[in-house]
């Protein structure tokens, strides 16, 4: 049965959100709708949601404090230590820092329920010395990393506060983690460690930078394989040693060949040479040149096909450069520097259902987004129900110096997350968990 209008109206009034009808893109079971009807009517849940709205200014203050702490990938320690203190102050159980420098704590449930993980990442793409001064203009906040993922981290703190304010006790355990190594060559180091340490996780939600206000749900993972390809030769003076193979020329041959590759539009499969480096001077035959190659697809077979073609082109470029100068002195070294698993599960999962109904309950029009490359890649590849959602507000310019965040109605992000948590983990005395316990992974 649909969520009763009186309950949906009540919850929208609590949140200050307009009602909106959702186009039905997923098959929501009546049992899931019944759970949300119970949650929307529960005084404890309504109290927690009212707290989130009142807590909006504090959440934004947390966001500002977090963005001011430089946290480039592999150098997240200062922000991790700060976040550790914040989670401890909120009274979560088992708060600690693991071997990868992830910071996690758990809200223990009433017992014998599923285990849900919520995470946001601590690292940013910006170098350590980046100016992180926040500038405000026309109601927007401008700063590198202000949304990605300072907003997710701040929203998670608000959710924990709200659970305590509403005295909500879930049936299952809920873990909250600030993770490292999500960006760039971090290669999902943090979330890989979390799932290695916790074999009993039954469902997962990633809070990410909000590029669409409160509505998109991404449940597919674009897998990526990344390689560093380095050409090495003897090098020499551009005039006196002319005739020797050039590492840069070989690199150019490889880039040209890779750029001509054709990939399918469906499943979306992409590639780019993201960085290049090499050479000594304008009048030197380059002894070394390197490129970083990124390849992505939400279909692992297509990704492997692309990888095979691209790496063969890289090898052939060394052969061609040697042949051009009748030499055998140039060689190529190929090293994998990243492997993010992908997957295309069905949208008919309890996590997607819970987030879909949570968006509706907060007055939004839910819709399914395309595949993304995020921390959700790992649980999706393991067959664990998982999805990525925005953490509230709206942002653009992600990964640029001009990144900005609009805090209008930002409280809807943590409100949506809280409702999804309550539905998936269950609320003691109110509703049974939508998430099912799975056998622990080996």
Q: Rounded CA gap, 149 and 78, in Å?
A: 15
C-beta separation of 14 from 134 below 8 A? no
Q: Rounded CA gap, 368 and 350, in Å?
A: 14
Q: Which residues of 54-79 are buried (b: 16+ CB within 10 A; e: fewer)?
A: ebbeebbebbbebbbbbbbbebbeeb
- Give the residue among 306, 307, 373, 305 at the shortest CA–CA distance from 334: 307
Give the pLDDT confidence of 2-17 residue by residue, as tens digits: 333 333 333 343 334 4
C-beta separation of 274 from 292 below 8 A? yes
- Give the residue among 124, 123, 114, 118 at the shortest CA–CA distance from 105: 118
pLDDT at 112: 87
pLDDT at 26: 87
- CATH class (in words) of the domain with range 223-340: alpha beta
Domain boundary assignment for the chain = 5-221+342-425, 223-340
C-beta separation of 367 from 25 below 8 A? yes
Q: Where are the alpha helices (DSSP H) in 117-237?
A: 150-165, 189-197
Query: Does 223-340 match 5-221+342-425 at the fold level?
Result: no
Q: Rounded CA gap, 89 and 201, in Å?
A: 25
Long-range CB contacts for residues 132-141, cutoff 8 Å, separation at least 24 = 132/67, 132/68, 132/70, 134/64, 134/67, 134/68, 139/406, 139/407, 139/408, 140/404, 140/405, 140/406, 141/64, 141/404, 141/405, 141/406, 141/407
Q: Give CATH for domain 5-221+342-425.
A: 3.40.630.10
Residues 6+ apart with CB under 8 A from 74: 123, 180, 181, 186
pLDDT at 425: 98
Give the pLDDT confidence of 349-373 residue by residue, as tens digits: 999 999 999 999 999 999 999 889 9
- Given a cut of 50, the residues of the chain with pLDDT beneath it are 1-24
- The rounded mean pLDDT for the chain is 93
């Amino acid at each position: 049965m649909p969520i009763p209008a009186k309950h949906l109206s009540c919850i929208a009034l609590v949140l200050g959100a307009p009602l909106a009808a959702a186009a039905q893109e997923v098959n929501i079971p009546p049992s899931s709708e019944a759970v949300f009807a119970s949650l929307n009517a529960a005084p404890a849940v309504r109290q927690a949601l009212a707290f989130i709205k009142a807590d909006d200014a504090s959440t934004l203050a947390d966001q500002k404090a977090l963005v001011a702490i430089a946290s480039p990938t592999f150098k997240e320690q200062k922000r991790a230590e700060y976040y550790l203190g914040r989670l401890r102050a909120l009274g979560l159980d088992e708060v600690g820092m693991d071997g990868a420098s992830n910071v996690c704590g758990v809200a223990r449930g009433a017992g014998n329920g599923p285990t849900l993980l919520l995470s946001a990442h601590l690292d940013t793409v910006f170098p350590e010395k980046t100016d992180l001064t926040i500038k405000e203009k026309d109601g927007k906040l401008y700063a590198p990393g202000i949304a990605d993922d300072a907003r997710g981290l701040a929203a998670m703190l608000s959710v924990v506060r709200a659970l305590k304010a509403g005295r909500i006790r879930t049936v299952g355990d809920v873990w909250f983690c600030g993770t490292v190594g999500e960006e760039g060559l971090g290669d999902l180091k943090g979330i890989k460690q979390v799932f290695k340490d916790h074999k009993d996780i039954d469902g997962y939600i990633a809070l990410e930078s909000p590029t669409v206000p409160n509505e998109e749900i991404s449940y597919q993972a674009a897998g990526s394989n990344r390689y560093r390809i380095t050409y090495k030769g003897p090098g020499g003076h551009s005039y006196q040693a002319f005739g020797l193979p050039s590492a840069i020329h070989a690199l150019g041959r490889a880039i040209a060949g890779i750029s001509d590759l054709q990939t399918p539009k469906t499943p979306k499969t992409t590639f780019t040479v993201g960085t290049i480096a090499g050479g000594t001077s304008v009048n030197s035959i380059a002894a070394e040149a390197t490129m970083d190659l990124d390849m992505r697809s939400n279909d692992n077979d297509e990704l492997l096909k692309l990888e095979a073609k691209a790496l063969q082109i890289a090898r052939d470029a060394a052969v061609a450069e040697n042949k051009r100068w009748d030499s055998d002195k140039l060689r190529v070294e190929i090293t994998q520097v990243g492997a993010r698993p992908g997957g295309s599960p069905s949208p008919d999962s309890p996590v997607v259902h819970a987030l879909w109904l949570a968006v509706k309950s907060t007055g939004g029009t839910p819709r399914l987004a395309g595949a993304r490359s995020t921390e959700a890649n790992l649980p999706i590849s393991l067959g664990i129900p998982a999805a990525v959602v925005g953490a509230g507000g709206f942002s653009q310019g992600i990964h640029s110096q001009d990144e900005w965040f609009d805090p209008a109605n930002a409280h809807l992000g943590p409100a949506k997350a809280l409702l999804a948590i309550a539905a998936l983990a269950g609320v003691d005395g109110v509703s049974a968990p939508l998430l099912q316990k799975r056998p622990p992974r080996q």
